[in-house]
Amino acid sequence: MYNFLRRSFFCLSLLFCLSAHISVAQQADTTSLWDLGGTGTVNFSQISLSNWAAGGQNSVSVLGIANAFANYEHGKNSWNNSLDLTYGLVKVEDRRTQKSDDKIELNLKYGHRASQKWFYTGQLNIKTQLTPTYTVTRDTLVAAFLSPAYILTSVGMDYKPNKKLSVFLSPFTGKFTVVNNQALADRGAFGVSAAEKGVEGNPIPGTGQRFRKEFGGYVNVRYKNEILQNVTLQSKLDLFTNYLRDPQNVDVALENLVNFKVNKFISATLFVHMIYDDDIKIRLDRNDDGKVDGRGPRLQVKQTLGIGLSYNFK
């Protein structure tokens, strides 16, 4: 339990230090054309049982979420930059500490005004995670930092009718998948080419490709609005089609974050993340016998709900 609390405190401290740094920078230069800010949230959950006849297990979990932004607008030029960090841990009685969530996403977007609502735009988006992920038995690596990392470079037009909505359309987008860990690359994880097989049909270690590139069209929709008093909705939709291979198969990523503000320091958050990518093969049990007997694309869904401490830096 001590190690769990120590790791939790370290990760959450990093999240809040980042947000605090942004706040200080904004206060240091009030005449700047930059609009800086962010939000830091920490959610806790605990279950403690003693002589509980119905049964159950003691558990404790913590989830930290930090969102920071730096926006610039002057004349016909604009910069919209954001950094999203999420990290969570859960400790169930008599089991090892496990990650419940882990994400880092950086988005940089430059625009040059073409008309009142349209901008010529270039965008760079990078997604990965902070620490390794293992199976429950901790004998198999599932993912790690830069394994995978998704990098999108796009050129197109951005439609911004107001400060709440942005619709970015790019007919020229490069999508790059990085699997830096060679063992994962050899398994063909996250859509890269798996290791070559020898004469006897066994994989040859070190021959898996760690880099995959695609070229296609991309749509990115971002929306943020206070839909009700003290209730804020943030939505992101990403659509990508590969011109060079199966363009009819569109990669979809949808994120919805609803923040319920109770007061200045207490809030509740609901987060739903859905992904469909036909290049990512999920382990399947096709005949429901409890054993994995294949792999194939599936809709991936992640949902988190938490109540905890929150603070806006502006």
For the stretch 191-221, pLDDT in tens is: 899 999 998 889 999 999 999 999 999 999 9
Quote the pLDDT of residue 137: 80
> Can you tell me the distance from the alpha carbon of 44 to that of 58, in angstroms, rounded to the nearest whole number?
14
Hunting for tokens 């439609």 — which residue is that? 159
Quote the pLDDT of residue 45: 84
Find the radius of gyration of the CA atoms of the chain. Answer: 22
Hunting for tokens 């502006």 — which residue is that? 314
pLDDT tens, position by position, 90-131: 998 888 888 989 999 999 999 999 999 999 999 999 999 999
Domain extents in the chain: 2-46+55-313
Decide if domain 2-46+55-313 falls under CATH 2.40.230.
yes
Quote the pLDDT of residue 22: 41
What is the arithmetic mean of pLDDT over 161-184?
A: 96
Q: What's the pLDDT band for 13 if we cut at 50, 70, 90?
A: very low
> Can you tell me the distance from the alpha carbon of 104 to that of 84, in angstroms, rounded to the nearest whole number?
6
Q: HSE (CB half, 13 Å, CA atoms) of 142?
A: 15
pLDDT tens, position by position, 233-289: 999 999 999 999 999 999 999 999 998 988 888 988 898 999 999 888 887 877 777
Quote the pLDDT of residue 17: 47
Global confidence as pTM = 0.81
Quote the pLDDT of residue 143: 95
Is residue 167 within 8 Å of residue 180, measured between CB atoms? no
